[in-house]
Each structure stands twice: as structure tokens, then as C-alpha cells.
Amino acid sequence: MTALETPVGPEPQAAERVSVLRRAARESGYLLLCLPIAIAGLVVFVVGVSLGTALLITVVGLPILAGTLAAAQGLGNLERERLAAIGHPVPATRPFHTDRRGLRRFLARLGHGQSWLDLLHTLLFFPLSLTTFIVTVVWWVVGAGGVLYFVWERYLPDGGRTGLADLLGYPGRVADIALTTVIGAILLITAPWVVRAMVAVHRGLARVTLGGTSSSALRAQVAELTRSRAAVVGAEADTLRRIERDIHDGPQQRLVRMSMDLQSAQRRLAAEDPKAAERLIAEAIGHAQASLDELRTLSRGIAPPVLSDRGLRAAIASAAGQSPIPVELDIALEPGQRFTAARESAAYFVVTESLVNAAKHSRASVVRVVVTELDDAALRVEIADDGIGGAHPGKGHGLTGLADRLAGVDGVLDVDSTDGAGTRVVATIP
């Protein structure tokens, strides 16, 4: 045997057998538990629908039907979780949500299509669960009883006993034991696959009823996109207002002052007072330089040229170099690696806004920035400081704007900022 050859022994086969048995036990437990849940669901269906329909002529029937649909949805959610626990997840559906109150809330529940599908699943779930329960019990019990037939058959009464072998024309105790044992072994051997087939039937029913329709999934996607679009529009509006305020309070005031200084210098020169004019011109130059610096800072917050020209790695390094707090960089990207403009802009915005927040509020001595590309091509940006912590989106600090900005690219923001333990901001951009 060479060094590259791997010996094939009984261990992999034994591990595979153990895995099959574990899965069969887990799926059998799922099938056995279906029946009591199905009985509860049938009671909810029969009582709720009959009572609600009978009283629908009055106002009382409306909340009863709405409550029945809510209970059916709860049972449907339980079934979704149970299927997911055994490795058969059901596609997500549009949950019921409304801000209405009173009678309008009951009407909204009656208009929720997925709740009716959950109720239909409750009705169909009972006969299916009863069938699979019987098959599961019979397959395992008869199989185990057949394999152990040689142990307990001696205790059967002898008078008039007729076994399966006798019916097939093979009389005798030995033939009866052999045939029963073989049948029991066949049942036990095939039980895992029979159980899996019955679970597949349950999964098929759940996908048709609990999995929702393509239209409901599309509506849920549209609702999510509408929400993220509104968040992005709001974030952009807040950014524009902030830029407008910064320009008004900074460069605009300096430019007005520079204009006044230049006009005064012009009058001084006309009055033959060169020293005063020189002083005013120097002040005007200072104001002009400060205005240019502030405008460059604002432009870096919007779309810095280095981000467009050299990519995210160089842009983050440039932003870190301008931070008043020392920044440690760990950027696991290639020097020329590029991403889409939206992803690069979102990642850069997270870094710059976090550095600004740290400089204003954290009292940190160092900030660490880590940028990595995950295995699923998602971009992960982490900014952590050793400051006082206590940051929360509800307190402002620009974190709400960060979350809204990331929502536009389906990104997720995670903030961990315990008091006294620093702040850690993690953005994942798919």
C-alpha cells in the first residue's frame, strides 16, 4: 500500500449505518408525533369553522373565524419548524401583519390567504398523519416482532395454531419461525426508506399548503424591496440635509468672509494703506484654504476620487490616515480588487461613518478595521474600538443611517456596544 492510498475498512460503513438509523429514528419520531398534533388541529378546524360559520350572521362569528385562522397559522408554523428540524425546510411565506384594530383587524385576518392555506393543511393533515402513524407503528413493531419471533413463539398456545408457513403449504415449527423471521428482517431493513417516503409525503403537502404560492412570495419580496427602498431614500435625504448644513455652516460662511475681506482690501489699496490690505488678503487666503479643505472633506464623504480610481482598499487606507484616532488596518483584499460601485460605496460609507462616530463619541485610543471577503462572496466590514461603548441605533450616532444605507444593497448591520467595553460594528454586504 502506497502513502497515497487510503485503507477502506468497516469504519465508514458502520458510520453510515449509524447515520441511517439516527435519521430513521428522528423521522419516525416526527411521524409518531404528527397524530396528536393532527387531532388537535382537527378539533380546531371542526369547532372553529362550524361555530364561526353558524354565528357568522352575528358579529360573534367573525372573531371566532379569525381566531380559528390564527390557531391554524400557529399549527402551520409548528409544522414548518418540525420539518426544518429534520432537514426538510419549507419555503418562507408572507406572515400576517396589520396595524388595524377591532373589526377591521378580524377582516384583515379573513383576507390573509396564507391563513386559509394553513387551515386547509390542518384539515388534510389529519388523514395523512393517521395513515403514516399506522404504517410507522406496524412496520417497526411487526418487523421487530418477526425478528424476535423465535423468542416468544414458544409461549403461544399450541391448539389450532396456524402460522403463515402453514398457509403457504410449508407446515412445521421450523418453517414458521424461518419465514416469520425473514419477513420481520425485511420490514426492519426497509423501514428507514419507508419512513423517509412518508416524510416526503408530509413535506409535499407542506410545500403546497404551508409553503405559500408564488404570488404571495412575490408580494413579500415586493414589500421588502419597498421597505429597503424607503430606507435608502430616507438615508440619502438625511445625508443631503447634513451636507447642506455643513456647507452652509462651513465653506459658505468662510467664502462670505473672504469676499468681505477682499472688498475691504480693495478699499485699503485705494486709500494707499498696503499693510492693512496685505493683512486682509492673507486672511482671505486662509479662509479660501480652509473652505477648500472642508469641501474636500465633504466630497470624501460622498464619493472620494480614490474610491473610484483605486478601489476600496486604497480608499479605506486614505480614510484611516485622516482619522484623529490611530487606526489599525487588516484588509484581506488584493490591491487592485474591485467590487460593484454600490457595494464599494456602502462599505466605504460604513468605515468612514464609524470612524467619525468613534472620533466624536467613543473616547477610544485605537480603532481596528477588518475587511474580508467571505466564502459566499459577501463583503464583511468590521470596525471595533476600545472606547466607552454605549452606542445604539436608537441614540443616533449615525447608526440608523448606516443600517438604512446597507438596506439598499441587502446588507445587514450588527452593533455590539456594551458600556465600558468599546463598540464593534459589523456590516455584511452580499
23-44 per-residue burial string, b: 16 or more CB within 10 A, e: under 16: bbeebbebbeebbebbeebbeb
Q: What is residue 239's predicted lDDT score, i.e. its pLDDT?
A: 62
**3-class secondary-structure state, position 171:** coil
Rounded to the nearest 10 degrees, what angle do helices 61-85 and 113-147 cross at? 50
Name the CATH topology of 309-429.
Heat Shock Protein 90 (3.30.565)
Q: What is residue 352's predicted lDDT score, i.e. its pLDDT?
A: 81
- Is the CB of residue 355 less than 8 Å from the CB of residue 316? no
79-97 pLDDT, tens digit per residue, is 988 988 888 888 766 667 6
Q: What is residue 227's predicted lDDT score, i.e. its pLDDT?
A: 62
- How many Å from the N-terminal Cα to the C-terminal Cα in the chain? 47
Burial of 215 (0-12, 13-18, 19+ CB in 10 A): exposed
Q: What is residue 124's predicted lDDT score, i.e. its pLDDT?
A: 93
What count of residues does the chain have? 430
> Is pLDDT at 335 greater than 80 in this prediction?
no
Kind and range of the H or E run holding 333: none
Which sign does the torsion angle of CA 179, 180, 183, 188 carry? negative
Instruction: Look up the pTM and report it.
Output: 0.51
Query: What are the structural domain ranges in the chain?
Result: 10-209, 250-298, 309-429
> Is pLDDT at 39 greater than 90 in this prediction?
yes
How far apart CA 66 and CA 118 sit, in angstroms, is 13
How far apart CA 24 and CA 195 sit, in angstroms, is 7
158-170 pLDDT, tens digit per residue, is 654 566 666 666 6
- Among 143, 141, 139, 163, which residue's Cα sits nearest to residue 153? 163
Burial of 379 (0-12, 13-18, 19+ CB in 10 A): buried
In which band, very low, low, confident or very high, does the pLDDT at 3 lie, cut at 50, 70 and 90? very low
244-301 pLDDT, tens digit per residue, is 566 656 666 666 666 676 777 666 666 666 767 667 677 777 777 776 666 665 555 5
Q: What is residue 220's predicted lDDT score, i.e. its pLDDT?
A: 58
Q: What is residue 55's predicted lDDT score, i.e. its pLDDT?
A: 85
Q: What is residue 5's predicted lDDT score, i.e. its pLDDT?
A: 44
Q: What is residue 4's predicted lDDT score, i.e. its pLDDT?
A: 43
Mean pLDDT of 63-81: 88
How far apart CA 401 and CA 235 sit, in angstroms, is 5
Greater confidence (256 vs 215) lies with 256
CA dihedral 244, 246, 249, 251 (to 10 degrees): -90
In which band, very low, low, confident or very high, does the pLDDT at 1 lie, cut at 50, 70 and 90? very low
Q: What percent of the chain has pLDDT over 70?
A: 68
